[in-house]
Homo-oligomer: A and B are copies of this chain.
Amino acid sequence: MRTSIATVSLSGSLTEKLTAAARAGFDGVEIFENDLLASPLTPEEIRERCADLGLSIDLYQPMRDMEAVPEDVFARNLRRAEHKFRLMRRLGTDTVLVCSSVSPQSVDDDALAADQLRRLAELADGHGIRVAYEALAWGRHVNTYDHAWRIVEAADHPALGTCLDSFHILARGSHPKGIEDIPGDKIFFLQLADAPLLDMDVLRWSRHYRCFPGQGDLDVAGLLRHVLAAGYRGPLSLEIFNDVFRQAEAGPAAVDARRSLLALQEAVGEGDLPAPVVPTGVAFAELVTPDVAPAAALLGALGFTRTGRHRGKPVDLWEQGAARVLLNTGPAARREGTVLAAVGLESPDPAAAARRAEALLAPVLPRRRGTGDVLLDAVAAPDGTELFFCATDRPELPSWIRDFEPTGQLPADTDITGVDHLQLTQPWHQFDEAALFHRSVLGLEPEPSVDVADPYGLLRSRAVATSDGAVRIALGAGPGPGDDQDRAQHIALATSDVVAAARRFRDAGGELLPMPGNYYDDLAARFEFAPGELETYQELGILYDRDAHGTFRHCYTRTVGRVFFELAQRDAGYRGYGAQNAPVRLAAQHGPH
């Protein structure tokens, strides 16, 4: 199926938008009138630019408040339309969008609307142009897709059809089943947009909060099935008004956009994506650091043992239970202090996982990191984290661990069993993209986004996880653009005994993040504890949460560079991440004052 994107969905000049759309692999564009008006390129130059980029111009949107108006107003509208049809010929596009009128001058008269749209279509036809009439969800008299279709049907002109827009249809709660009653060749165009479910006026919702399919709560795939069943064979076109996308770089946003359509096509049984390969665990987390001592000291105090040294590079392997941390002091580490740079995901079929990631437009990283190394399939996540698809000590597959020369030390047997979750900071502009990426590329299921109050702004956090919890990643974003650069990320280690783990860490010289006494006083007011229990928690900075399933006890190390560790005891099926406690933890991390 052909894919298209409206220029309003991307930021920048028209040239930047077109270039980004072409690079992301779109087949065509809708040109939003304001982008053309502001461009120094003539229509002929725009046409040529699109041709050079391999883009068709699938739609132009210059018309407003066209139909069901008094005759003198309509005469002026036709005059304007004639201008725009001539412009469209110069652009080389043959479909014009006409949205249902919002003008106070328009009247509730379907026969008049049909008559005027027929006359508009006649004029268009003379220029070789087709008119696609669409019901805006806030149209004054016409605001449902079936109403718009009835008018198109009544007008009965070959150059007049309807345009369907998933947002306008689903936002009003219209049932899309009726779309199948429209002849497919009278659906001239299909615009697709998703949106989070927000209870607000639909105009504001549409203008500011639309997002790419799969990033919101609307059943865009369900709607698309009905449109395809009706026989529509035109492009799938994204038309997204979103305040964040307007600020985001056009290049990554266009890739994100196309990924959303690839996933959408898969959801309706179209396209040819390789099947998902869901990871079965976290093979390793990789820290890069220009200064190995503090990171190594932290790992040592946490109970990790340095079990291996990479045969070709300055990378150490540290192990404890099923938790593995790589400590990389190579050249990449020179730039930005200690950071969580890569994650190894245990994969049932690493090569197939990488093929799917690549098909979903994830940037593929070089497979071989050094001579003699095991081949590692890796891609970059939207936040820049390198994701490796690995096998660890599985007979049928080469194990990445073979690249490490054993030190002869064996990991201690402790209560640390593995990685509970990883927390990765996302660029503010890419929070929604990140969830879609992890869902479509890795098969992780997103949970709802939650707001977390930091003393200096509201953060957002959204967990993505496998259904069995073997891989859990908390995606976080700060209150505004730009502040992801200095936000810490963290590795939460799963323990069967957080008190013992915290004590051992402290006794080994590790420093736990202290929590305020007022927090424990509140815990005492909210829950009942065994004698001495709260005192132990307070002594060690252990936080406590409970959900319908079980309990969560967790504490934090101090931050080294941009990384800290959490010790997490998840009991009896607790499902959360201690978000309730995050404001207290964040305040403690800002320091005592």
- A contact residues vs B (CB 8 Å cutoff): 11-13, 15-16, 33-34, 36-43, 79-80, 83-84, 87, 198-201, 204, 243, 246-247, 453, 455-458, 479-482, 514, 516-519, 521-522, 524-526, 583-584, 586-588, 590, 592-593
Cβ contacts under 8 Å, A15 to chain B: 593
Decide if A518 touches B37 in the complex (CB within 8 Å). Answer: yes
Decide if A587 touches B13 in the complex (CB within 8 Å). Answer: yes
Decide if B84 touches A525 in the complex (CB within 8 Å). Answer: yes
Cβ contacts under 8 Å, A453 to chain B: 34, 246
Known contacts being A521-B83, A593-B13, is A456 close to B246, with CB within 8 Å?
yes
Known contacts being A83-B521, A518-B42, A592-B40, is A455 close to B587, with CB within 8 Å?
no
Please report the C-alpha to C-alpha distance between residue A542 and residue B50 in the assembled complex, in whole angstroms: 29
Decide if B246 touches A34 in the complex (CB within 8 Å). Answer: no
Q: Quickly give the copy total for this chain.
A: 2
Please report the C-alpha to C-alpha distance between residue A317 and residue B587 in the assembled complex, in whole angstroms: 52
User: What are 8 A-to-B residue pairs whose CB atoms are below 8 Å?
Assistant: A13-B587, A16-B593, A40-B588, A198-B204, A199-B200, A246-B457, A247-B457, A480-B480
Contact of A525 among B80, B455, B456 (CB under 8 A): B80
Please report the C-alpha to C-alpha distance between residue A420 and residue B141 in the assembled complex, in whole angstroms: 41
Interface pairs A-B: 5 shortest CB-CB: A200-B200, A83-B525, A38-B587, A199-B201, A247-B457
Chain B's closest residue to A36 (CB) is B518
Cβ contacts under 8 Å, A588 to chain B: 38, 40
- Known A12-B455, A199-B200; further 20 A-B contacts with Cβ < 8 A: A13-B455, A16-B593, A34-B453, A36-B518, A37-B516, A37-B583, A38-B583, A38-B584, A39-B518, A39-B587, A43-B518, A80-B525, A83-B524, A83-B525, A87-B521, A246-B456, A247-B457, A247-B479, A481-B481, A482-B482
Please report the C-alpha to C-alpha distance between residue A458 and residue B481 in the assembled complex, in whole angstroms: 14
Of the candidates A38, A243, A593, the one having the most CB atoms from chain B within 10 angstroms of its own CB is A38
Contact of A247 among B480, B516, B517 (CB under 8 A): B480
Decide if A38 touches B458 in the complex (CB within 8 Å). Answer: no
